[in-house]
Structure 1
Amino acid sequence: MYRFLLTRQWVILTLLGLVLIPTMIKLGFWQLHRHESRVARNEEVAASLSAPTVPVGKLTSTRQGPADDDKFRTVTARGTYDEKHEVVVRHRTGSDGDTIGYFVVTPLIRKDGPPLLVNRGWIKADRDLTAFPSVPAAPKGEVTVKGRLMPDETTAASGIKDTKGLPDRQVMLINSKQQAKALGRPLLGGFIQLTATVPKPQGNQPELLPEPDHSGIGPHMAYAVQWWLFTGAVPVGWIILVRREAQERRRAATTPPSREPGEPTEPTESGEHNDTGHAADGAGAGREGAGQEGAAKASGESPAHAAEGRAAKEPEPVSE
């Protein structure tokens, strides 16, 4: 009854199911690992943001940037801005996540240590992307800045291609080693995302970057559950299809073939015909009798005399 499983169609369907099951299991665990990574990142960010504020020199140096655990740590630094070596970082989005603009990065010259790159915030892009945009002026004089410590951006970590040949003072990545070459002196590794300035600057300033999201966990756990539900649906669906196919084949084997209307049946072993055959014979005999009676009436003879006359006219068979 289940020999149909050896047909080409069912062999392909079965092999497809056997391939899908481990694939979907693996995809479910992949989403689970992404969920776990997101939860771990949220915990690290929350711990860094809640950690005590420290001077920037305690967490980074010119030889080595901040450790992974120190990312988003709140630090302070004191110095004066060097607008001459200020750069803008292209293709960065604002707080709405859609509007394209620039990050404004300005070196802070410190009296008690090497200079530090400060991401002063975001500005909207001008129509002319080949010229240096109009940037709000940095605060004059000595200031104390406070912000979140970040490691240097790289193509490997960010996925952003470090395009060459950009317009003057425009870059794709915030990288202290690259800016140290332009400044002509070593810089502290990494940079800070500005959150506050003392004294508070006057006039228009770049839009400060928002605090990183560390509360959402994303849809990864839901995706993992969905993949595993799909995994269970494959064998269940295969069994349902097999049973349905077997029932249809069993029903086709037990149902007699259908006949067209008016089709005569085969004679039985005793030589008798079915009702359809008898009805046909009776109809033929009736038509023959009616024809004889009509001929007799037309000639004025009785049907019996007409029949005898025909018999007399018919020649007798000649025996050999």
Structure 2
Amino acid sequence: MYRFLASRRWLVRTIAGILLVLVCVRLGIWQLDRNEQRTAHNDVVEANVDDDAVPIDRLAAPGAALADDDQWRTVQVTGRYDTDNALILRLRPVNGVPGVHALTPLVTDDGNAVLVDRGYVASEGTRDDEVPIPPPPEGRVTVTGRARTSETGQGTGGDAARGDIRYVDIAGIAETMPYPLYGAWIERTAQDPAGSGELRTIPAPETESGPHLSYAVQWFLFAVVGVSGYVLLVRAEARGRAEAAAEPGHGDSSGPGEDSGDHAAGEPAARAHGGGRDQVDR
């Protein structure tokens, strides 16, 4: 009944259906992975973002990477801003608003430095290199902020020596600095003295779960629909072929076969009668 599945047309359909289902399943698994990553991110944020401030050297010494579990912890550091080696962190929108971030090294008393994202200025259609960046306060400054891990694996996405970057790759930036850098950078949340108010403070990270779980369910449903649709299509084809085979005149030995036999058997008799009449006429 299902021998038609071995035909070329149905083999193509079967392979295409299998590939479609596999793609849907793979996309569903990918969305589940994204959901797990988002959940792990949210757990770290919720566990760390409201903690009491700790000295930065307790989390990441110069040259030592910040542990993933310590990201977003509140840290505090005192030093002097080095405006000669200030950087512009570009293409970093905040809440959908394009802007330029001021990333400035804060040099501590021991000669080490930590990169501080002092805040951002909305670009509002202005070229990144033309956005005016307010200077930091002079003298000793105490900065409180959220510790961030180095954005490694992509390079700086710019020219750190020129002061224009896209990613905070601490190791890459350290090569252009005259002092060692701590293995974490800071998103400023508070500062004493406050300095200019023109820089906007970066908001805390969001902890929404996002749509990944619902997307995963949708992809798995698509896979189920694909399998169900294929099965229904095969059954409909098989049923149609069975009904066609059962119709009179379609391969039935009791129909056309018998008619043809009767015709063949009657033909000699007809000839015989015809021949008899011919003889009488003669």
Query: What range is the shorter-chain TM-score in?
Result: 0.7 to 0.9
- SS of the residue corresponding to residue 137 of structure 2 reads coil
- SS of the residue corresponding to residue 41 of structure 2 reads helix
Alignment of 1:135-284 (within 5 A): 135-154=133-152, 156=153, 159=154, 162-164=157-159, 168-201=162-195, 203-214=196-207, 216-255=208-247
Identical-pair percentage = 35
TM-score scaled by length of structure 1: 0.69
- SS of the residue corresponding to residue 91 of structure 2 reads strand
Give the equivalent residue in structure 1 for 2:72. 72
The answer as to whether partners of 1:137 and 1:205 remain within 8 angstroms in 2 is: no
Cα RMSD, aligned residues only? 3.1
**Structure 2: 5+ residue runs without aligned partners?**
250-261, 268-280
Give the equivalent residue in structure 2 for 1:312. none
Give the equivalent residue in structure 2 for 1:96. 95
* Higher RCO (CA < 8 A, seq sep 6+): 2
CA deviations 1:217-261 (Å, max 9, x no partner) are 12222222222222322332122112322333344445568xxxx
Alignment of 1:15-164 (within 5 A): 15-93=15-93, 95-97=94-96, 99-112=97-110, 114-125=112-123, 129=127, 131=129, 133-154=131-152, 156=153, 159=154, 162-164=157-159
The answer as to whether partners of 1:130 and 1:167 remain within 8 angstroms in 2 is: no
Give, as a single letter, the amino acid of the residue that structure 1 aligns with 2:77: A
Give, as a single letter, the amino acid of the residue that structure 1 aligns with 2:80: T
Cα offset for 1:194? Answer: 0.3
The answer as to whether partners of 2:79 and 2:142 remain within 8 angstroms in 1 is: yes
**Structure 1: 5+ residue runs without aligned partners?**
258-267, 272-318
CA deviations 1:55-83 (Å, max 9, x no partner) are 11211112313211111110011122222
Give, as a single letter, the amino acid of the residue that structure 1 aligns with 2:98: I
Give, as a single letter, the amino acid of the residue that structure 2 aligns with 1:55: P
The answer as to whether partners of 2:118 and 2:188 remain within 8 angstroms in 1 is: yes
Shift in CA distance, 184/230, structure 1 to aligned 2, threshold 3 Å:
same
Give, as a single letter, the amino acid of the residue that structure 1 aligns with 2:158: T
Cα offset for 1:8? Answer: 1.7
Give, as a single letter, the amino acid of the residue that structure 2 aligns with 1:34: R
The answer as to whether partners of 1:116 and 1:191 remain within 8 angstroms in 2 is: yes
The answer as to whether partners of 1:44 and 1:69 remain within 8 angstroms in 2 is: yes
Q: How many residues align?
A: 256
Cα offset for 1:117? Answer: 1.4
The answer as to whether partners of 1:115 and 1:186 remain within 8 angstroms in 2 is: yes
Cα offset for 1:179? Answer: 4.1
Shift in CA distance, 130/219, structure 1 to aligned 2, threshold 3 Å:
closer
Shift in CA distance, 141/68, structure 1 to aligned 2, threshold 3 Å:
same
**1:14 aligned to 2:14?**
yes
Cα offset for 1:160? Answer: 6.6
Structure with max Cα Rg: 1
Shift in CA distance, 12/45, structure 1 to aligned 2, threshold 3 Å:
same
Cα offset for 1:181? Answer: 4.2
Q: For residues 5 and 180 of structure 1, what CA distance do their matches in structure 2 show?
A: 64
Q: For residues 27 and 177 of structure 1, what CA distance do their matches in structure 2 show?
A: 35
Deviates most, 244-253 or 59-68: 244-253
The answer as to whether partners of 1:122 and 1:208 remain within 8 angstroms in 2 is: yes
The answer as to whether partners of 1:5 and 1:11 remain within 8 angstroms in 2 is: yes
- SS of the residue corresponding to residue 92 of structure 1 reads coil
The answer as to whether partners of 1:150 and 1:190 remain within 8 angstroms in 2 is: yes
Cα offset for 1:22? Answer: 4.2
Q: For residues 140 and 191 of structure 2, what CA distance do their matches in structure 1 show?
A: 10
- SS of the residue corresponding to residue 62 of structure 1 reads coil
Give, as a single letter, the amino acid of the residue that structure 1 aligns with 2:199: P
TM-score scaled by length of structure 2: 0.77
Q: For residues 71 and 233 of structure 1, what CA distance do their matches in structure 2 show?
A: 42
